Structure 1
């Protein structure tokens, strides 16, 4: 007996398997449904002579039917007739669609997800009992004594701070997972440096610093979120990745309709418009209008936000109570640092994995990666550096800030009126005398901007593929904030797509300067936390750095530059911080001779 199984792998591919068995020959055909959607047919073994022509004839007809359907869908902008089947690999109840990664990209994705794994913390009671969660008022930090005789701190030493977390009942926490930030600063000196926080997974933490300047300095520890709040943020992304939703306006003549759009659309009987980018594979979908075709889409905008917290979970996100609240010191909160002695050995701490990327001193950023950060304090200094350059800025509103900085700092940089939306762009400015061109374009969806023309929804990778590149070309990329509510897989795949385009650009034009702007901290309200918490940003910041590590690109470390500064955190950092970021960028473009 011969068993033939016909499988429909996808719309355009089929798999036929033939299994030979020694069974009792029977002239009766046995057909049974497959557990995976195929059909298994058992026939007498000599019947295979007649079956193969029939099977392949069936395949030929069906393939042509699918091909015609595919052509028709392409003509109507990939309207999907049936609810979409999720391809997401991790979510239990998934309705997010991602492109299928290559084996190499899938392995990298898995390693990246493992690298940002956060300690598991369960909500102790349902409804929540706030008393058992981390309380900054009961918690404290202690500066450990210096690791040398004499009790003196010297420039070059390592300073370590121990942090112990307690709950609202004053009991020590016994698990980790709190999100804590730490820094050393001296306001009078305009000095500040971010510390690395180490979670010991037992309620205690360490903050480790390099002592980089002499004088007095104070230590600050901030509880951004208790571990229980992080658990809620993780659950929201898993269960409600569509809590930020989008809309598109469709119009033809006097008829117009608005439908919901997203990369995560809950399945209904309503057909979908598939706007997946053909070059990058980036997915995007809208529910199809009832009376209009998918080709009638004219704009994209943020639709709204659905807040779905469980009972009392809002208590985990209270400003001044348990969200971005400073801890008190158990003992002195300040130390005095003396100049480094000749021949003084540095105190090394085994818990230090990596040092800071830089620090502020007298209000100016000092890089520790070997880059000499120059001060470009005048328009003439900036113009001289950018002379003959084309600077292309791609990303979100934190990159748009840089375009606005150049417009304000360079009186001769005249902006063309492209009649672009103020928030969205694209923007272009030219200093004709100095041959300077500066452009800005926002990244593709998900994009929480208002009223973006559909024709301006461009993906960064495609834009990079359109650049010639060369020594006169500067590319700046900043993409993180708008991905906060979505599964990390979506962000990883977007960065992988951009990285491939960066590699192609550097292959054809190795002298092109590519700069990546990292994420930064922001002020947090309940809404801001549920859509763009610092925890979400931290996770994406780690992934961003890892994806571009090893490439011939430069980083502007917006994360440390916002954490180390004394100014309040803001999604759009204040002018002194932006000025320091631009100084770093210009120092990459015009490195100091001999530096």
Structure 2
């Protein structure tokens, strides 16, 4: 089997259990221009993908590929949708005893609310194994057989009693409704821009699409085809925009029947299993020798597991010592640029809390979500955090005078062996059509390619987004949206010499439902970060 084909068969298919390998296949061909020849999937394109140079064509092709993986189903009665409580999971080839290193497969059969077997797939599941006594957890890999059956594969990484959890997050009918709703428009969120011109202060409506015939101010780079607009105030220049705020509209693209699928009681429901746990023995097997963690490594799914609340990647050796005990030496002489949302702001504050020699430098900024600068003049450490470009869903005014997208910021870097650029894109994009996110990722990939041409020894680290609370409005912030974005992030940056911090995998493994991970999870993310750059 060729290396490309082997990698194709190892491609992760995690939570959106439709044919997600189809998506990876398509994106790989679009970006790398070499098809991974997986004979299971025959994709018909309007044009040969290798001829697509324009971002707009790539965005359309990727969007269409995702749409083909999402179930196209409709319902007229909730009783015909997937019921977690009526569905069943059974361990295939159940053994009396398992050893560390073994795998087990749970086959899940889906039924609707009247007990009728489902005959199609597309349900959004979340699977993990865990052992509370040893603070251990790992994600499961889910295969959708597209006939109402799912095979959920688990690797047994530790010994002891191991519990199994498989949650139905959304039925396939809900997945179809969410995908249609997300891509119906931009009306869920409204933005307001604050203009200051001489002694005049004016507020104006802003957004990615404005349903108005009034004159508009356009912000963005034409070459990126990534624009943000505001209705132009009378007698005020467009350059006078100072700050932006946002809020949710009382609006939904879901109909009344579809909304019943997203009542809190219908989200994240445990699927009953005939066997809820298994006992795992060490069996004295030799552990595999793994290479040092470095950028550019292929990451399988799951990419790691927790044991004693420590994250162990399965594709590289994190080493037995705590990387944070050497953080001062690791960061010495480095310039670290961090760009993203509040989850990377967490990183910045965490690093400051464990490296006491770092001091915040007051930039005298006004408003919220301001740029942060940390300095250690003795160790010559420079850490700079900045929010990513629109969209930012913040109720308080934030300045746009230092505005830039991730790709624009990368293009400003000189780079070098002591330069590190960390970024994350995710949560703030969820309420908007996926094409906005795809285009931003494609522009960012191009910027990284340009950076590596002028400075190949620059370190680039990507933190994926993670899961979040289930009490939020699903039509805006569902983890289904996040999972698609997570897959896109891993796929679009495939083949580049970057390091991936798989925050999504860590969230699933730990059973977390929180936008801002716990301090222990952040610590494990920082451990991976330090291993990549030192």
Using the size of structure 2 for normalisation, the TM-score is 0.83
Distance (Å, rounded) in 1 between the aligned partners of 2:498 and 2:283: 34
Please tell me whether the aligned partners of residues 374 and 583 of structure 1 are also in contact (alpha carbons under 8 angstroms): no
Deviation at 1:490, TM superposition (A): 1.7
Name 2:343's counterpart in structure 1: 398
Distance (Å, rounded) in 2 between the aligned partners of 1:197 and 1:474: 34
Deviation at 1:381, TM superposition (A): 2.3
Distance (Å, rounded) in 1 between the aligned partners of 2:360 and 2:257: 50
Matched, 1:578 2:522: yes
Matched, 1:112 2:62: yes
Please tell me whether the aligned partners of residues 216 and 336 of structure 1 are also in contact (alpha carbons under 8 angstroms): yes
Matched, 1:277 2:246: no
Name 2:75's counterpart in structure 1: 124
Distance (Å, rounded) in 1 between the aligned partners of 2:456 and 2:206: 39
Higher deviation after alignment, 465-474 or 353-362:
353-362
User: What are the within-5 Å matches in structure 2 for residues 4-403 of structure 1?
Assistant: 103=53, 105-106=55-56, 108-110=58-60, 112-113=62-63, 115-116=65-66, 117-125=68-76, 129-146=77-94, 151-266=96-211, 268-278=212-222, 280-308=224-252, 309-319=254-264, 321-329=265-273, 331-340=274-283, 355-372=301-318, 375-376=321-322, 381-403=326-348
Q: What SS is found at the alignment partner of 1:366?
A: strand
Alignment RMSD, CA only? 2.3
Name 2:295's counterpart in structure 1: none
Pairing partner for 2:369 from 424, 432, 436:
424
Distance (Å, rounded) in 2 between the aligned partners of 1:510 and 1:543: 24
Deviation at 1:417, TM superposition (A): 1.2
Distance (Å, rounded) in 1 between the aligned partners of 2:177 and 2:104: 33
* Alpha carbons of structure 1 residues 375 and 281: separation in structure 2 relative to 1, 3 Å: farther
Distance (Å, rounded) in 1 between the aligned partners of 2:52 and 2:285: 55
Q: What SS is found at the alignment partner of 2:415?
A: coil
Distance (Å, rounded) in 1 between the aligned partners of 2:286 and 2:346: 45
Distance (Å, rounded) in 1 between the aligned partners of 2:285 and 2:351: 44
Please tell me whether the aligned partners of residues 119 and 201 of structure 1 are also in contact (alpha carbons under 8 angstroms): no
Any unmatched runs of 5+ in structure 1? 1-100, 345-352, 591-595
1:268-292 Cα deviation digits (max 9, x unpaired): 3212211122564421111222443
Question: Greater CA radius of gyration, 1 or 2?
Answer: 1
Please tell me whether the aligned partners of residues 134 and 322 of structure 1 are also in contact (alpha carbons under 8 angstroms): no
1:155-174 Cα deviation digits (max 9, x unpaired): 22221001122222232222
Please tell me whether the aligned partners of residues 280 and 461 of structure 1 are also in contact (alpha carbons under 8 angstroms): no
1:358-410 Cα deviation digits (max 9, x unpaired): 111121111112242565476x5221211111111011111111111112222
Q: What SS is found at the alignment partner of 1:315?
A: helix
Name 1:552's counterpart in structure 2: 497
Deviation at 1:579, TM superposition (A): 0.6
Please tell me whether the aligned partners of residues 246 and 301 of structure 1 are also in contact (alpha carbons under 8 angstroms): yes
Name 1:26's counterpart in structure 2: none
Q: What SS is found at the alignment partner of 2:195?
A: strand
Distance (Å, rounded) in 2 between the aligned partners of 1:446 and 1:374: 40
Distance (Å, rounded) in 1 between the aligned partners of 2:518 and 2:526: 13
Matched, 1:494 2:445: no
Using the size of structure 1 for normalisation, the TM-score is 0.75
Please tell me whether the aligned partners of residues 464 and 500 of structure 2 are also in contact (alpha carbons under 8 angstroms): yes
Please tell me whether the aligned partners of residues 167 and 269 of structure 2 are also in contact (alpha carbons under 8 angstroms): yes
Deviation at 1:201, TM superposition (A): 1.8
Deviation at 1:255, TM superposition (A): 2.8
Deviation at 1:570, TM superposition (A): 0.7
